């Protein structure tokens, strides 16, 4: 059995040495190259301001994160989820650097590369497609992966998209374990094939609530000019 975790993070900024922090973690599990429906997803309160440039990328605001847990409160759950798995990450040094920094700050020194095998999809893509764009969006276009819902970057959404890109890029057909137990089904992602290739994921109740709250915050900060709240054009 091969257990893999597709992982992505969103942060307050780009430079971990300037005490930027993780504000969202998204992980999706694969067993033998099949989605299991198991995931880890958490927004985090960084206890610092988000850079404007970062906010323009992921759309997550400081107000939205005020009531979210600290990294120290979820560190054990995250570690248990990823422990021993192969981590699939796009530009792995960035995410691993931030995660290890967070663990160090919580007085729990962790070397993720020693407890997990790391597959850097960006490094792999550059070897496959030298001299070409190898961003996640570029790879979606190259491999026919649907990323039309990606208005903003988001850790869980990007992990889902990266999983599809990884399976296509490494030559494996995207497939699903349909023989789930009842308990697995309750916690699984609601997934289905679309034209035999792209995937549609239905958000659960908690994700819908967080998404609505985030959209309302963005709308408030834009003085009600967000397009999704305008009924007439």
d(CA 15, CA 21) in angstroms, rounded, equals 9
- Which residues are identified as catalytic? 153
State the greatest distance between any 2 C-alpha atoms of the chain, in Å, as a whole number. 55
Task: Quote the DSSP letter at residue 187.
Answer: H
Determine contact, residues 24/178, Cβ cutoff 8 Å.
Answer: no
The string of DSSP codes covering 20-77 is --EEEEEEEEEETTEEEEEEEEEE---SSPPPHHHHHHH---HHHHTTSPPHHHHHHH
Which of 213, 147, 158 minimizes the C-alpha distance to 39? 158
d(CA 59, CA 67) in angstroms, rounded, equals 17
4 membership: H or E segment, kind and range:
strand 3-11
β-strand partners of 9? 25
Which of 110, 101, 163, 111 minimizes the C-alpha distance to 136? 163
């Amino acid at each position: 059995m091969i257990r893999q975790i597709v992982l992505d993070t969103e942060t307050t900024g780009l430079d971990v040495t300037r005490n930027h922090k993780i504000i969202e973690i998204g992980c999706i599990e694969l067993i033998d190259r099949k989605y299991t429906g198991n995931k880890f997803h958490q927004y985090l309160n960084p206890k610092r301001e988000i850079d404007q440039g970062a906010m323009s990328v992921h759309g997550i605001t400081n107000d939205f994160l005020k009531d979210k847990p600290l990294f120290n409160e979820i560190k054990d759950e995250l570690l248990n989820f990823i422990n021993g798995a192969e981590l699939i990450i796009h530009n792995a040094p960035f995410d691993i650097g931030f995660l290890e920094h967070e663990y160090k700050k919580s007085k729990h020194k962790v070397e993720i590369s020693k407890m997990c095998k790391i597959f850097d999809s960006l490094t792999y893509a550059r070897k496959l497609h030298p001299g070409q764009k190898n961003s996640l969006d570029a790879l979606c276009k190259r491999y026919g992966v649907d990323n039309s819902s990606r208005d903003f970057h988001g850790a869980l959404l990007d992990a889902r998209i990266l999983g599809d890109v990884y399976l296509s890029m490494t030559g494996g057909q995207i497939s699903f374990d349909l023989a789930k137990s009842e308990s697995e089904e309750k916690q699984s992602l609601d997934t289905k094939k679309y034209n035999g290739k792209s995937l549609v994921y239905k958000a659960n109740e908690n994700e819908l609530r967080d998404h609505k709250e985030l959209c309302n915050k963005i709308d408030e900060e834009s003085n009600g000019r967000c397009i999704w709240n305008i009924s007439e054009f």
